[in-house]
Chains A and B, each alone.
Chain A
């Protein structure tokens, strides 16, 4: 089966600046992939090339087996761009109806209004919408053609909590229907919620690629939380090897360390009075910090 996305040695330069360098990536259909990286890492440039908005300087890419500039391919994809793109002097329902006409097999207007949470605002003029409502309209427009492949570039910026909740519920439903999702975000909780594959790029270069758990495991720092007895003092804990951070709340201690197993053995060996011990591996955010700092255990797939 043809992959949803196939990038082969793709490089994009703007003058002397290289935004994306020799990127090779294959994404199978039905995957929910988070493309993560710091500001200026090359995420939006990569999406622009995948959407056919800009062309690679070098390398080849295919989207749904064809060129992203091909109308047949565009009929099968949807995009929610970082910029809020809404035209004025049209009502919400008129804007959605207009965009529905671009596609061969659009979703019904009512479905789009419901999924985006814009049904109560269908008659509003677009220039009267709040920033969050405009984002929701962008979402409805991205879904208008019932896309097989959906690109979401920082989709929830400006949305309130309720809108975000609804948005992710809809995205979850789309994922269950086998849609391919490509997401960029700075909210790691969003990536963790939806992605089954995580790709990390930095300065235009692929830094990590794996399942959510594989990427999480790149994180060398663990967090250990416990209740400290009388003999435990901050000074004593700070002297232990590998402790990178320490916080006290009453008698509850939270410390991060590069090797919590060794630390725990040491504390028990010294007969330290500790109880209610919890060790957590940390989330995606810590893993990304590890990747960016170059302090990695090793490469994944």
Chain B
């Protein structure tokens, strides 16, 4: 097997294993979104219409987005910061493992975890809440969410460039909550004051969920939605690269 592929495969498998053993990931990436989904759907009512679709489908997307954002920020950021502060990242630089294999294995294993979150949440919607949608709606929504997670993975990487893992952990959780609240993942933007809705529309969390809401409602995704997400991803990646170059260290 090619050496790069061998290293990348081993590194990705280890990252996946480490994430699965992380209680914090389970709490913020899976338990909380599922729990909030049941609570909010029960309190509002399954079949209330929001944004052109049933509340139970609308909120399923909201909570899937919430879980993915939480997983991106709370797993990737603190882990990168921790590995740098403990000297692990520095030690890795003495091994043949390339920088790119180190970083991509983290990002791709995180993407695999996110695919799991999407499948789990959709299974909850279909099997427990009996949401009925054409199969291609589910497929397209899932694929959209895999695309839409990119800025959050980039944001997690950016957070990982900060030196104090404890601060990064707190910051990641606070950011997850703020992005969810202002991005309309807990409360639809239709119910927000105008000024707040305007802020919401500018956030990546809103645009992330908006694409999937549009697919579920049978609408076309406006061009600016993927463009805004890509813009955020570019800014976060550039900032992360700039910070890492300044430090002269590995991610």
Contacts and interface: CB of A to CB of B under 8 A. Distances in A.
A74 B17 contact: no
Given A75-B96, A98-B10, A101-B7, A85 B17 contact: no
A74 B95 contact: yes
Contacts of B14: 90, 94, 98
A101 B93 contact: no
Contacts of A81: 87, 90-91, 94
A30 interface: no
B6 interface: yes
B11 A84 contact: no
Contacts of B242: none
B96 A88 contact: no
Given A88-B18, A101-B10, A83 B86 contact: yes
Given A86-B86, A89-B22, A98-B11, A51 B3 contact: no
Contacts of A89: 17-18, 21-22
Nearest to A82: B87
B4 to A, nearest CB: 9
A205 to B, nearest CB: 25
B95 A102 contact: yes
B193 interface: no
A83 B90 contact: yes
B93 A53 contact: yes
Interface string A77-103: 111010111111110001001110111
B51 interface: no
Given A89-B18, A89-B22, A98-B10, A52 B83 contact: no
A31 B21 CA distance: 43
A155 interface: no
B231 interface: no
Nearest to A77: B94
Q: What is the interface of chain B mostly: helix, strand, loop, or mixed? A: helix
A158 to B, nearest CB: 14
A52 B94 contact: yes
Contact of A85 (B21, B22, B90, B97): B90
Dominant SS at the A interface? loop
Contacts of A275: none
A145 B95 contact: yes
A145 B92 CA distance: 13
Q: How large is the interface on B (under 10, 10 to 19, 20 to 34, 35 or more residues)?
A: 20 to 34
B17 A90 contact: yes
Interface in B1-50: 3, 6-7, 9-11, 14, 17-18, 21-22
Contact of B94 (A51, A88, A101, A104): A51
A111 to B, nearest CB: 18
Most chain B beta-carbon contacts within 10 A, residue among A85, A86, A141, A151? A85
A77 B6 CA distance: 19
A94 B97 contact: no
Contact of A51 (B10, B22, B93, B97): B93
Contacts of A53: 90, 93-94
B248 interface: yes
A87 B18 contact: yes
Interface string B58-98: 00000000000000000000000011001110110111111
A53 B247 CA distance: 12
Contact of A99 (B6, B9, B87, B95): B95
Interface string A182-221: 0000000000000000000000000000000000000000
A83 B86 CA distance: 7
Given A51-B93, A94-B17, 14 more contacts: A53-B90, A77-B94, A79-B91, A83-B87, A83-B91, A84-B86, A85-B90, A87-B18, A88-B82, A89-B17, A89-B18, A89-B21, A94-B14, A103-B95
4 tightest A-B contacts by CB? Answer: A83-B87, A101-B10, A85-B87, A89-B18
Interface of B: 3, 6-7, 9-11, 14, 17-18, 21-22, 82-83, 86-88, 90-91, 93-98, 248
30 contacts: A51-B94, A52-B93, A52-B94, A53-B90, A71-B98, A74-B95, A74-B96, A79-B91, A79-B94, A81-B90, A85-B90, A86-B88, A87-B83, A87-B88, A88-B18, A88-B82, A89-B21, A90-B17, A94-B14, A97-B10, A101-B6, A101-B9, A102-B7, A102-B96, A102-B97, A103-B96, A104-B3, A138-B91, A145-B96, A151-B94
